[in-house]
Amino acid sequence: MSSTRKPVHLAVYDTLADWETGHTTAYLARAGYEIRTVGPGREAVRSIGGLQVLPDLALEELSPGDSSLLILPGADLWDTSDDLAPFARKAREFLDAGTPVAAICGATAGLAREGLLDDRDHTGAVSFYLAATGYRGGERYVDTDAVTDGKLITAGPTEPVAFAREVFRLLGVYEGEVLDAWYRLFHDSDAEAYAVLQKAAAS
């Protein structure tokens, strides 16, 4: 791993949807990125799937200058309380500093409430889900699997593979036919794509 490559930070909090970011973090780690978890504090949190995670650092300790990317997974708490609003504010801090943010599922609603989707192309679970936040970015909603606008990636809850694809593209982990093959393998179960990946790995 390059000594100058900064870690990727994965937000973790109670009720996080643990299936939404697995492709992303697994293949970023394989590409040489250190994955560090960041929680509301340093206390353990528990995912929807019952997994207990002990954060590497607390949100207040995280600086955009120390990170390659902030990943915000979905969680029930995005819609049932204001507990995760500090993570949306941290996303604003990241974007203002030019550091990428990737949000999936309920995290897109958190960003909408923070006003971060008002002037950026984006997607989410469905347009009326985000409209219910009262945000002003409805005209920028794109009905597709995942969207990248500048340094911000958004995706709906059923698109973890497309979400990962956009992260890999933005960070330059995979490109061109290799990126396309990775997506076809994991999204479409296209066996022919495996050969492309094997060839790229051997080169």
DSSP alpha helix (H) spans, 63-175: 77-80, 85-96, 106-113, 127-131, 160-171
Segment holding 35, helix H or strand E: strand 35-39
Tell me the C-alpha to C-alpha distance, in Å, between residue 192 and each of 41, 176, 196.
Answer: 45, 16, 7
Helices 160-171 and 22-30, interaxial angle, to 10°? 30
Residues 6+ apart with CB under 8 A from 32: 1, 2, 5
- Catalytic residue from among 84, 95, 103, 105: 105
Q: Is 191 a catalytic residue?
A: no
Q: Which amino acid is at 110?
A: G
Which residues does the annotation mark as catalytic? 105
